[in-house]
Amino acid sequence: MAREPESLPPDKVVRSQVGRTVANTFAVLVSLGVLGAWAYFGLYQIDPGENAVILRLGRFNRTVTSPGLKWHWPPPLESHDIVSVESIEKQEFGYRGEGEASKQQALEGTVQTRDNNIVYIGFVVQYRVKDAFFSRYRVADPRSSLRDSAQAAIREVIGRTPIDGVLSELRGEVERETGALLQDMLDRYDSGLLVKGVQLLDAQPPGEVRDAFDDVIAASQDRSRKINESEGYANEVLPKARAEATELRQAAEAFRDTKVADATGEATRFTALLVEYRKAPEVTRKRLYLETMEQVLPDVEMVIIEPGTANVLPYLPLGRSSGSAGEAR
């Protein structure tokens, strides 16, 4: 027969249970600590103007654009790559002056125009990242792709532009067309870059004909200046002339309206008078005579003498002016 296990003393049983509890608690705490440390590696910070590209098991999962403290599954499940998308960067190309031009700069800056002339140019391309994932994972070297594309774009645009336009009045158009063509190339490459602007820094003809081209540019500038001066003079004179013409037109219209109104009133008054005259000719004739006398007599000095009462000598007002004497009756 098997022997029954001997029962342990109560104090040893308590110590055994406490030991197991402490061991289990310690194991749980260690597990939580390991999980917390692992989860800590999933925290990351996005500053304003930055995006985070999240990769899950090495494949693109999402792009986080909002700034702040973020979390993703810790490695090796997920990883992140912070990309600046607001900072403006620039690339310089080509000719920068006689003393600074290296062989590479001279090669970048030598371009043939439409009329088979050679021009030395220097230009700057400003750009930023518009797609964080494309800029980081689609193209091996976005900056190198930008440089190659920019040189191809500027050569294509200048290749269909005459040298006079490149040196003077078509510079702005060359910059706009180059920027649009460069952006189209970068989009076809999925580069994730956005061209903010292309600026021509310098454009010089070959040294042998530089003086002649300087004269052409000076003449073009004089022409533009004369045009601006004439336009300024026209802008100063034309408003005054238009204002005077408007004033004269309004005065003439007012004079015309006044005369028409006076004539209409006179015609209306005469018509009304004719109607009354036809009704009572004698009365109307006498009334017109009296009204006329009322208008005339107040301006005339008169001496009324009853006929046959006395002999009166003619009266001549010598103390008055000839005008007043002439008005006496």
- The whole-number pLDDT of residue 329 equals 42
CB-based contacts of 197, cutoff 8 Å, min separation 6: 125, 126, 175, 179
Series of mean pLDDT values for 10-residue runs along the chain (329 residues): 54 66 74 76 86 87 86 84 89 66 63 85 91 88 91 92 82 92 93 92 70 72 86 89 91 92 89 83 83 76 65 58 45
- The whole-number pLDDT of residue 310 equals 59
Count the neighbouring beta carbons within 10 Å of the beta carbon of residue 148. Answer: 13
Count the neighbouring beta carbons within 10 Å of the beta carbon of residue 196. Answer: 14
- The whole-number pLDDT of residue 251 equals 92
Distance CA 135, CA 192 (A): 4
Cα four-point dihedral sign 178, 184, 188, 189? positive
- What is the phi/psi pair of residue 115, to 5°? -90, 25
Count the neighbouring beta carbons within 10 Å of the beta carbon of residue 167. Answer: 22
Q: Which two tokens stand for residue 316?
A: 């001549």
pTM greater than 0.75 (yes/no): no
DSSP per-residue codes, 23-68: HHHHHHHHHHHHHHHHHHTTEEEE-TTEEEEEEETTEEEEEE-S-E
Which of 176, 153, 155, 173 has the alpha carbon at shortest distance from 165? 173
User: Rounded to a whole number, what is the distance in angstroms from the first to the last CA of the chain?
Assistant: 181
- The whole-number pLDDT of residue 149 equals 93
* Beta-bridge partner residues of 194: 128
Under 8 Å between Cβ of 220 and 231: no
Q: Which two tokens stand for residue 278?
A: 């036809």
Count the neighbouring beta carbons within 10 Å of the beta carbon of residue 143. Answer: 14
Instruction: Report the helix count and the strand count for the chain, using DSSP H and E.
Output: 9, 9
Distance CA 289, CA 61 (A): 113
Q: Are strands 110-112 and 89-94 parallel, antiparallel or unpaired?
A: unpaired
DSSP per-residue codes, 210-276: HHHHHHHHHHHHHHHHHHHHHHHHHHHHHHHHHHHHHHHHHHHHHHHHHHHHHHHHHHHHHHHHHHH
CB-based contacts of 243, cutoff 8 Å, min separation 6: none
**Which residue carries 């006329």 as its tokens?**
292
